[in-house]
């Protein structure tokens, strides 16, 4: 069967045709497109209409080639949302989570509902850009948008609405908002009330795998397609990615490696206690009733921004190869320090961090790249050690999925820092998870474990075993000593 997956990231998006059957997954990229942040009057926005148009373009190609598809599914990044008016029209472009307006928003909201109480209810890590704090900020700024908003739709749900005319709120994407009761898996009424919102302010809450509706008349006219169903897959891209972890048991941790690195374990119920609260771990919704207990880490964003800044002819592979030949362990950074959120110059921010912590100051591209990758590997060790405290099983391996699984140098560093095998792949984790959930809805698979077995037999995987682990352990205290919040 053929399925179409729409995978939207914070820098680019694409539509992928997936042909699934008999333990075979064949992927074909239909179209790829940029997803830039747009700055207007001091605010950062996403262009939801441009994303819609690119999806239409992908559907046109499918129709022109007379490809029969069973369904369509959309996944995207979390927390951001679109406001819909009483007439069903989109009211404005959605804010980008990297917009600076939410800086300090948490402390303001804690005057209404305490930090401890919010975590007890939601189990979600605290980040300024969570939907909870975006909505609170918009309200505090007396924005004209909320009083005329009828529905709030998260990015994949908004695009599904534009394709079908049906409004839903898919559970996994909603769970990133810090508005969902993690035990009840429904919106928390007290938090909504603090925002002057109700459950009716959102679309109907649905589980991943729900059919939202068929393509509407406008989309059919634009594309030439017929009554194709749009499925609410795991709308949060990480939730879709975790579906594709090719493991036949549960004794693993995963690292969804892309612009963000998300490291976690799969749990049967939320893990909410004083330790998870103090370490700021999150409990996000997964598929088949699971909970993704994880930590957000600033992943390949640092390297990606450096590459943009350098803007030269060095290839991705050459930069990494050069970094591999550099002197090891000369300097470390805290990849999650706020000074790296969206500075004018990432390279300058890294140098200032190293100077402020009395370390060697990296000068060349390869030195900076090596600093980033070694710091990420040690950050992964730091988070994995914390994860093991909460896991009910020994973590015997780390599955690295997503685009970062192709970074052999970082995977080598990670295996050596952690002291356990790293299994890299699938690279197209999010897309495969998206497509497999559509296949499950179509009746090809009964549950997540059957999907994973099929994936493990049909995609190439690479294993990295620890090298010189003892040397990495000698360096770990040095990393911890400079793991600081540098503003």
C-alpha span between 354 and 85 (Å, rounded): 49
C-alpha span between 298 and 346 (Å, rounded): 13
C-alpha span between 449 and 28 (Å, rounded): 25
The answer as to whether 131 is a domain residue is yes
The answer as to whether 433 is a domain residue is no
Tokens of 2: 């053929």
Model confidence band, residue 260 (pLDDT cutoffs 50, 70, 90): confident
If you average pLDDT over residues 278-296, what whole number do you get? 95
C-alpha span between 174 and 158 (Å, rounded): 12
Looking at the structure, tell me whether residues 132 and 268 fall in a common domain: no
User: Of residues 258 and 294, which shows the higher confidence score?
Assistant: 294
Looking at the structure, tell me whether residues 159 and 295 fall in a common domain: no
Looking at the structure, tell me whether residues 194 and 284 fall in a common domain: no
Query: Which of 185, 202, 235 is a domain's end point?
Result: 235
The answer as to whether 434 is a domain residue is no
Quick count: other Cβ atoms within 10 Å of Cβ 40? 8
If you average pLDDT over residues 226-238, what whole number do you get? 97
The three-class DSSP label of residue 296 is strand
* Nearest C-alpha neighbor of 173 from the set 232, 117, 125, 120: 232
Looking at the structure, tell me whether residues 253 and 224 fall in a common domain: no
The three-class DSSP label of residue 85 is coil
Looking at the structure, tell me whether residues 200 and 321 fall in a common domain: no
Query: Which of 183, 206, 235 is a domain's end point?
Result: 235
Looking at the structure, tell me whether residues 219 and 249 fall in a common domain: no
Q: Look up 237 and say whether it is catalytic.
A: yes
Query: Which of 188, 205, 235 is a domain's end point?
Result: 235
CB 11 within 8 A of CB 304: yes
If you average pLDDT over residues 92-104, what whole number do you get? 95
Tokens of 318: 């050459």
**Residue 485 reports pLDDT greater than 80:** no
Looking at the structure, tell me whether residues 312 and 419 fall in a common domain: yes
Please state whether 23 falls in left (phi above 0), alpha (psi between -120 and 50) or beta.
left
The two beta strands, 253-257 and 398-401, are parallel
Looking at the structure, tell me whether residues 229 and 325 fall in a common domain: no
**Residue 487 reports pLDDT greater than 80:** no
Task: Exactly one of 80, 128, 157, 237 is catalytic; name it.
Answer: 237
Looking at the structure, tell me whether residues 278 and 419 fall in a common domain: yes
User: What is the reported pLDDT for 340?
Assistant: 92
pLDDT tens-digit readout, 354-413: 999 999 999 999 999 999 999 999 999 999 999 999 999 999 999 999 999 999 999 999
**Residue 435 reports pLDDT greater than 90:** yes
The answer as to whether 53 is a domain residue is yes
The answer as to whether 38 is a domain residue is yes
If you average pLDDT over residues 108-122, what whole number do you get? 98
If you average pLDDT over residues 148-173, what whole number do you get? 98
pLDDT tens-digit readout, 457-479: 999 999 999 999 999 999 999 99
Looking at the structure, tell me whether residues 229 and 257 fall in a common domain: no
User: What is the reported pLDDT for 394?
Assistant: 95
User: What is the reported pLDDT for 22?
Assistant: 82
User: What is the reported pLDDT for 243?
Assistant: 96
Any idea what the CATH number is for the domain that residue 63 is in? 3.30.420.40
User: What is the reported pLDDT for 486?
Assistant: 67
Indicate the number of domains in the chain: 2
C-alpha span between 52 and 162 (Å, rounded): 8
Tell me the Cα Rg of the chain. 22
The answer as to whether 188 is a domain residue is yes
The answer as to whether 472 is a domain residue is yes
Stated as kind and residue range, the H or E segment containing 17 is strand 12-21
Rounded to two decimals, the pTM is 0.90
Looking at the structure, tell me whether residues 212 and 283 fall in a common domain: no
CB 333 within 8 A of CB 350: yes
Burial class of residue 268 (count of CB atoms within 10 Å of its CB; 0-12, 13-18, 19+): exposed
Looking at the structure, tell me whether residues 152 and 14 fall in a common domain: yes
388: containing domain: 245-425+461-487
CB 383 within 8 A of CB 295: yes
């Amino acid at each position: 069967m053929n399925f179409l997956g729409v995978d939207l990231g914070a820098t680019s998006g694409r539509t992928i045709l997936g042909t699934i059957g008999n333990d075979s997954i064949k992927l074909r990229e239909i179209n790829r497109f940029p997803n830039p942040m747009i700055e207007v009057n001091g605010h950062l926005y996403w262009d939801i209409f441009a994303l819609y148009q690119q999806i239409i373009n992908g559907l046109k190609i499918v129709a022109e080639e007379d490809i029969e598809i069973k369904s369509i599914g959309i996944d995207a990044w979390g927390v951001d949302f679109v406001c819909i008016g009483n007439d069903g029209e989109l009211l404005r472009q959605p804010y980008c989570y990297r917009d600076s307006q939410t800086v300090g928003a948490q402390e303001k909201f804690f005057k209404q509902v305490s930090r401890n109480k919010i975590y007890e209810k939601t189990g979600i890590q605290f980040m300024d850009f969570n939907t909870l704090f975006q909505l609170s900020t918009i309200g505090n700024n007396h924005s004209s948008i909320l009083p005329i908003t009828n529905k709030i739709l998260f990015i994949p749900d908004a695009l599904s609405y534009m394709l079908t005319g049906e409004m839903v709120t898919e559970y996994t994407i909603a769970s990133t908002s810090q508005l969902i009761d993690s035990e009840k898996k429904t919106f928390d009424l007290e938090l909504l009330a603090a925002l002057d919102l109700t459950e009716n302010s959102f679309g109907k809450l649905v589980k991943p795998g729900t059919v939202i509706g068929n393509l509407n008349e406008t989309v059919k006219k634009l594309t030439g397609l017929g009554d194709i169903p749009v499925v609410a897959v795991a709308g949060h891209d990480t939730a879709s990615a975790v579906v594709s972890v090719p493991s036949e048991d549960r004794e693993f941790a995963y690292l969804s490696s892309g612009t963000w690195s998300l490291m976690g374990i799969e749990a049967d119920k939320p893990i909410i206690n004083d330790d998870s609260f103090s370490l700021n771990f999150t409990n996000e919704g997964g598929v088949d009733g699971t909970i993704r207990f994880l930590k957000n880490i600033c992943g390949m964003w640092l390297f990606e921004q450096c590459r943009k800044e350098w803007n030269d002819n060095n290839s991705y592979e050459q930069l990494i190869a050069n970094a591999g030949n550099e002197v090891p362990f000369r300097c470390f950074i805290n990849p999650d320090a706020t000074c790296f959120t969206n500075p004018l110059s990432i390279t300058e921010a890294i140098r200032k961090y190293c100077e402020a912590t009395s370390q060697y100051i990296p000068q060349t591209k390869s030195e900076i790249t090596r600093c980033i990758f070694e710091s990420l590997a040690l950050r992964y060790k730091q988070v994995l050690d914390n994860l093991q405290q909460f896991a009910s099983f020994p973590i015997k391996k780390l599955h690295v999925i997503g685009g970062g699984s192709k970074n052999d140098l970082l995977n080598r560093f990670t295996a050596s820092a952690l002291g356990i095998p790293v299994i890299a792949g699938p690279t197209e984790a999010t897309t495969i998870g998206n497509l497999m959930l559509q296949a499950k809805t179509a009746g090809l698979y009964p549950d997540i474990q059957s999907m994973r077995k099929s994936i493990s037999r049909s995609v190439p995987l690479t294993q990295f075993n620890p090298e010189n682990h003892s040397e990495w352990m000698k360096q770990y205290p040095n990393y911890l000593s400079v793991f600081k919040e540098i503003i």
